[in-house]
A and B are shown apart, each in its own frame.
Chain A
Amino acid sequence: MMQFVPARSLLPLSGLALALVAAPFLLPNSFALGVAILAILNAAVAVGLNLFVGSAGQISLGHAAFFGIGAYAAAILSGTYGFNGAVALLAGAVASGLLAHASGRTILRLSGHYLAMATLGVGIIVYLAINQEIGFTGGPDGKAVPPFRIFGAAVVGEMQWYWIAAIFLLIVTWMALNLVETGYGRSLGAIHASEHGARAVGIDVAAVKTGIFVLSAVLASVAGSLYAFHIGFITPSEAGFLKSVELVIMIVVGGLGSVFGAILGALLITALPQFLTGFHDYEQLVFGLLLMLVAMALRRGIVPTLATLAARWAR
């Protein structure tokens, strides 16, 4: 029997769909809608990164590189060379996947701090390339991105982009839930817990690690392309170290290994600075204190901690 959606996740997945449908009607203005689009695209990246970091127990401090490759593929292929936006998006995804595969095969033998260093290196190289190749990328001044066209019609306006981002996130979430609730997810958990044990039960550890790294890179790249088309102008900072760190913070705050944790973390980290503007000069301070508070009070991240509490309460 074909079973499209795992029964366990049917409820939360419908909840997410409902929230995504309701949000644009509840948001006060198009600025808020713009923040929501960015949050949703970040959420898609975070869900992918969380499979690699939270589920498989690896680390990437250079994931913004793939977001940047997607964004610049959109800008360069669609802007400079006039390719269709979808072609540019796919080309970026393929390039990100290939880079992740090539680098993953070598650096994923490392673990812990060494892997963090190596992925940081990949991120820095991509960032430098974007910054220096002024002829292609516009360098530090950034680059304009032409509008995305579907069958000749340009996708314009926050509302249209909101629905595109929302559908993308729903698909990504559905796929991630499928993954974590079946055998491949179990392989990720096994690798996280014990690579020796994983090998002993027949798991090709190197292949699975590379596979999930490539997947997370491709998702980041597609999100980067959509972001570039939506925002219309990009700078090298999309691929920068701070963006990479921000992505890791999202999944740590939301909950490592939790699909919905990644989404919640992305929403909070993207939207929080907007709410904190009232603190003016102290905005960064309050942001930092909130992060410390979450790290100390909800050590496993918001969603897993609350899920445990709810389960205890229901008992």
Chain B
Amino acid sequence: MNGLGLSGVELRFGGLRVLRGIDLAIEASGITALIGPNGAGKTSLVNVVTAAYRPSAGKVVWEGRAMNGIPPHHLPRLGIARTFQNLEIFWTMSVIDNVMAAAQGASPPRLIPSLLKAPHIVRAETLSRATALVALERVGLLDQADREAGELSYGHLKRLEIARALALQPRLLLLDEPAAGCNPNETGDLAALIRGLADGGLGVLLIEHDMKMVMSISDRVLVMDRGVIIADGPPGKVRNDPVVVAAYLGPGTGAEAVADPDRMEARA
């Protein structure tokens, strides 16, 4: 099977069932959005997929390969890259160095050849610089390459994380709330960037609270609530699904309420 598959994934912390038997298949193409109210289990699902948590039961399969128990730093070489809800930027390094740290991702340099500056280390250096520049250009940060990461604006930092993920040359990109904390302009620009990446053939799994963004760029929307997937389909269908409306606005409102993105967002 291609793409990402979850079967019967459970995650328990003590008596708390955070994920309750998730079955899911996600293509490594187009934009799949994952939404749901706070505490629905979105971040837990991401953590299971990125091998930060080991599921209590069930399995995660990527491109036909079971992922249970792999260390998180192996994810990039399997073709999966991620960004973080709370920025995990390498603050004291320059923008280009941030991305170059990822560009060497598939085969990080070893200690002894690095000490001696072996020829292949020098070649890898040239290669990762080129890869990093391409990634920076794709997110529109090429002119910021030599600045220190700590000097960038918030919107640019979000883009820097995406550039860093792109430098890993992934087949699936996991974006954990890329628009969180951005102003409407920055969000609009990000949406266009993400849509462009997906149109260029990259699979995107988007975890996002910004409903306008989700509804405008996603090909498929998954809605989670209390550890299960409650709705799955194109944005137009999910938006009007009474179950989804009920999850966001509370029971009893489902049938009559129209899923207004602004109201859903207010609850998210």
Residues of chain A at the chain B interface (Cβ within 8 Å): 1-6, 175-176, 178-179, 182-187, 189-190, 192-194, 196-205, 208, 211-212, 215
Report A-chain residues with C-beta under 8 Å of the C-beta of B119: 1-2
Report B-chain residues with C-beta under 8 Å of the C-beta of A182: 109, 114, 117, 121-122, 125
Q: Are B88 and A194 in contact (CB under 8 A)?
A: yes
Is the C-beta of B142 less than 8 angstroms from some C-beta in chain A?
no
Mask: chain B, 195-232; 1 = CB below 8 Å from A; 0 = not: 00000000000000000000000000000000000000
One of B82, B93, B124 near A190 (C-beta < 8 A): B93
Q: Are B114 and A202 in contact (CB under 8 A)?
A: no
Bound form: Cα–Cα A208–B125 in Å: 18
Bound form: Cα–Cα A203–B122 in Å: 19
> Which 6 A-B pairs have CB atoms at the shortest separation, nearest pair first?
A202-B105, A197-B88, A201-B102, A202-B76, A184-B114, A183-B109
Query: For chain B residues 95-148, which have a beta carbon within 8 Å of chain A?
Result: 97, 100-102, 104-106, 108-111, 114-117, 119, 121-122, 124-125, 128
Most B CB within 10 A of own CB, among A6, A178, A183, A211: A183
Smallest Cβ distance from B179 to chain A, in angstroms? 19
Closest to B167 in A: A201
Smallest Cβ distance from B87 to chain A, in angstroms? 8
Is the C-beta of B261 less than 8 angstroms from some C-beta in chain A?
no
Stretch with Cβ within 8 A of A (4 or more), from B2-10, B21-29, B67-75, B246-254: B67-75
Q: If the complex has contacts A193-B91, A202-B73, are A187 and B116 also in contact, measured as CB distance less than 8 A?
A: no
Report A-chain residues with C-beta under 8 Å of the C-beta of B102: 201-202
7 extra A-B contacts, CB within 8 A, seeds A184-B110, A202-B73: A183-B104, A186-B101, A196-B84, A197-B84, A197-B90, A200-B88, A202-B77
One of B72, B77, B89, B100 near A199 (C-beta < 8 A): B72
25 contacts between A and B (CB under 8 A): A1-B119, A3-B117, A176-B115, A178-B117, A182-B114, A183-B104, A183-B124, A184-B108, A184-B110, A184-B111, A186-B100, A187-B109, A193-B89, A194-B88, A196-B84, A199-B72, A200-B72, A201-B101, A202-B105, A202-B108, A203-B101, A204-B71, A204-B73, A212-B111, A215-B115
Residues of chain B at the chain A interface (Cβ within 8 Å): 50, 71-77, 81-82, 84, 88-93, 97, 100-102, 104-106, 108-111, 114-117, 119, 121-122, 124-125, 128, 164-165, 167-168
Closest to B80 in A: A200
Report A-chain residues with C-beta under 8 Å of the C-beta of B108: 183-184, 187, 202-204, 208
Q: Are B97 and A189 in contact (CB under 8 A)?
A: yes
Q: Are A193 and B93 in contact (CB under 8 A)?
A: yes
One of B71, B101, B117, B121 near A189 (C-beta < 8 A): B101
Q: Are A190 and B109 in contact (CB under 8 A)?
A: no
Closest to A176 in B: B115
Bound form: Cα–Cα A198–B74 in Å: 12
Bound form: Cα–Cα A215–B110 in Å: 12
Smallest Cβ distance from A180 to chain B, in angstroms? 9
Q: Are A201 and B111 in contact (CB under 8 A)?
A: no
Report A-chain residues with C-beta under 8 Å of the C-beta of B77: 202
Smallest Cβ distance from A100 to chain B, in angstroms? 13
Q: Are B84 and A183 in contact (CB under 8 A)?
A: no
Q: Are A201 and B117 in contact (CB under 8 A)?
A: no
Q: If the complex has contacts A187-B109, A202-B168, are A179 and B75 also in contact, measured as CB distance less than 8 A?
A: no
Report B-chain residues with C-beta under 8 Å of the C-beta of A203: 73, 101, 105, 108
Report A-chain residues with C-beta under 8 Å of the C-beta of B93: 186, 189-190, 193
Q: Are B115 and A175 in contact (CB under 8 A)?
A: yes
Bound form: Cα–Cα A93–B5 in Å: 49
Q: Are B114 and A178 in contact (CB under 8 A)?
A: yes
Bound form: Cα–Cα A215–B106 in Å: 23
Closest to B84 in A: A196
Bound form: Cα–Cα A211–B90 in Å: 20
Q: Are A197 and B89 in contact (CB under 8 A)?
A: yes
Report B-chain residues with C-beta under 8 Å of the C-beta of A205: 73
Q: Are B92 and A202 in contact (CB under 8 A)?
A: no
Smallest Cβ distance from B78 to chain A, in angstroms? 10
Q: Are A186 and B117 in contact (CB under 8 A)?
A: no
Report B-chain residues with C-beta under 8 Å of the C-beta of A201: 76, 101-102, 105, 164, 167-168
Q: Are B115 and A200 in contact (CB under 8 A)?
A: no
Q: Are A202 and B106 in contact (CB under 8 A)?
A: yes
Closest to A201 in B: B102
Q: Are A193 and B92 in contact (CB under 8 A)?
A: yes
Report B-chain residues with C-beta under 8 Å of the C-beta of A212: 111
One of B90, B114, B116 near A183 (C-beta < 8 A): B114
Q: Are A192 and B92 in contact (CB under 8 A)?
A: yes
Q: If the complex has contacts A200-B72, A211-B111, are A183 and B117 also in contact, measured as CB distance less than 8 A?
A: no
Bound form: Cα–Cα A242–B84 in Å: 42
Bound form: Cα–Cα A231–B101 in Å: 43
Q: Are A183 and B168 in contact (CB under 8 A)?
A: no
One of A1, A194, A202 near B90 (C-beta < 8 A): A194
Q: Are A200 and B81 in contact (CB under 8 A)?
A: yes
Report A-chain residues with C-beta under 8 Å of the C-beta of B106: 202
Q: Are A175 and B116 in contact (CB under 8 A)?
A: yes
Bound form: Cα–Cα A175–B118 in Å: 11
Report A-chain residues with C-beta under 8 Å of the C-beta of B124: 183
Report B-chain residues with C-beta under 8 Å of the C-beta of A175: 115-116
Bound form: Cα–Cα A293–B7 in Å: 62
